[in-house]
Amino acid sequence: MKLIRTNVTKDAVIPDKFELIEHGRCRKGDIVLAKLISTLKKPVNYLRGANGKKFRAKKGSLFMGCISNRYAPKILEAIVPKRLKKGDVINLLEIGGTLGIVKSAKPGYVRKEAEFLGFVSYKGRRINIRDYSIKAKEVKGSPKVIVVVGVMEDSGKTFTITGLTGGLVKKGYKVCVGKLTGIGNARDVLLSKKKGAKKVLSVIDTGWPSSVGLSRKQLDDVFMKIFSNLAEVNPDFIILEIADGLTQRESAMLMKSKLLMKYKPHFILSVKDPVGAYGGEILMKKKFRVKPMFFTGRGTQTEIARKEIEETTGLKAFNPVSQWKEMTDYMLKKLEFSVL
């Protein structure tokens, strides 16, 4: 049976003749060998490989994944297990290959189970994705920094980022994209790459399978690694995503980061409805001392919703899918860039 490496393990160097340690304490980022117990069914009946492409997965599939936790209020909360031994059952947390223990989940959620076969190692030393992290570099140049944040998860941040990326690229600007928080899934940054982003990076590239539970210092390190490596290609714009909502622990810590604020970021707020836009703007002002340039996201899909948001807040709202050009032009004017 073919052994598949999932996307979260993409940067690790794993020898052909790797070894397995069949029991021990778990560390976030440890690469493990696992076998699917559950039969994955639609709409998620695949995993994402090291190259970012999807592959069909079925009961009995062998794959290399990575020990992680996950925070997704609409779906589940998962933690890193304290210890594992061969034969233990763990949960597949996301199609990028993250594995942990589901602590709580929404009603009706079906846990995707895998059998732990061992920690992947070489010459007696476990392989962890932190060993292959990108390094922070000296920042040169002064790109405009755009931060897209949402009132909560699944608010439409990805549509906003891809819309802006495509719009800016079409106007001749060089764009890079980074995802500072979230879980190890390549989908978001790959979509930006398809829209013409020169370079894309996510939390995986910094040596973490997810940002959940990181300290303020570790989050600043994630930011600096991503930002400095994107700035290296001298882009006009760096678009950064802060995932999972304004009230989420790591998101809130990054919003208060002095290191991030040093680069004078401009914020865009992705919302799910007019009330979320009103409350999100207030929260941004009071808690983080910043103001969004405009609103976007799933709550801006109709003209009447955009009108309610604009009348309530006094700020513009754009549908990132159908109004990507107008959204891009408006942002450029706000930032005093040429609308080419």
pLDDT category at 109 given cuts 50, 70, 90 is confident
- Domains of the chain: total: 2
Q: Are residues 128 and 148 in the same domain?
A: no
Provide the pairing of β-strand 83-85 with 23-25: antiparallel
Tokens 């160097």 locate to 13
Q: Are residues 87 and 223 in the same domain?
A: no
Strand segments, DSSP code E, in 28-174 are 31-36, 46-48, 54-56, 62-67, 70-72, 76-79, 83-85, 89-94, 98-105, 113-122, 125-126, 144-150
Provide the pairing of β-strand 98-105 with 89-94: antiparallel
In single-letter form, the type of residue at position 273 comes to D
Whether the pLDDT of residue 340 is over 60: the answer is no
Q: Is residue 210 part of a domain?
A: yes
Q: Are residues 99 and 220 in the same domain?
A: no
User: What is the rounded average pLDDT of the residues 63-88?
Assistant: 94
Give the torsion through C-alpha atoms of 168, 171, 172, 176, to 10 deg: 0
What proportion of the chain, given as a percentage, has pLDDT over 90? 80
Q: Out of 131-140, 179-188, 203-212, 270-279, pick the least confident.
A: 179-188
Residue 162: CATH number of its domain? 3.40.50.300
Q: Are residues 311 and 165 in the same domain?
A: yes
Residues found in the chain? 340
Q: Are residues 155 and 284 in the same domain?
A: yes
User: What is the rounded average pLDDT of the residues 255-259?
Assistant: 94
Domain that holds residue 95: 3-132
Q: Is residue 339 part of a domain?
A: no
Domain boundary among 132, 163, 186: 132
Q: Is residue 93 part of a domain?
A: yes
pLDDT category at 88 given cuts 50, 70, 90 is very high
Q: Is residue 213 part of a domain?
A: yes
Q: Are residues 48 and 93 in the same domain?
A: yes
Residue 322 has a pLDDT of 96
Q: What mean pLDDT is reported for the chain?
A: 93
Residue 212 has a pLDDT of 92
Q: H helices of 148-243, where?
A: 157-170, 187-194, 216-231
User: What DSSP designation does 323 have?
Assistant: S
Residue 154 has a pLDDT of 83
Helices (H) and strands (E) in the chain, counts: 8, 20
Whether the pLDDT of residue 339 is over 60: the answer is no
CA nearest 297: which of 266, 276, 325?
276
User: What is the rounded average pLDDT of the residues 110-135?
Assistant: 95
Tokens of 168: 């800016």
User: What DSSP designation does 301 have?
Assistant: S
Residue 184 has a pLDDT of 62
Q: Are residues 183 and 101 in the same domain?
A: no
User: What DSSP designation does 203 have?
Assistant: G
Domain boundary among 87, 109, 132: 132
Q: Is residue 282 part of a domain?
A: yes
Q: Are residues 265 and 203 in the same domain?
A: yes
Q: Are residues 87 and 150 in the same domain?
A: no
Q: Out of 47-56, 82-91, 120-129, 144-153, pick the least confident.
A: 47-56
Q: Are residues 78 and 102 in the same domain?
A: yes
| Distance between CA atoms of residues 204 and 11, nearest Å | 9
| Distance between CA atoms of residues 27 and 24, nearest Å | 10
Domain boundary among 132, 162, 193: 132
Q: Are residues 216 and 263 in the same domain?
A: yes
Q: Are residues 149 and 276 in the same domain?
A: yes
Residue 45 has a pLDDT of 73
CA nearest 115: which of 209, 33, 2?
33
Render pLDDT for 7-61 as a digit per residue (tens, 0 to 9). 999 999 999 999 999 999 999 999 999 999 977 666 557 889 888 888 888 888 8
Tokens of 30: 């440890």
Q: Is residue 139 part of a domain?
A: no
Render pLDDT for 194-251 as a digit per residue (tens, 0 to 9). 999 999 999 999 999 999 999 999 999 999 999 999 999 999 999 999 988 899 999 9
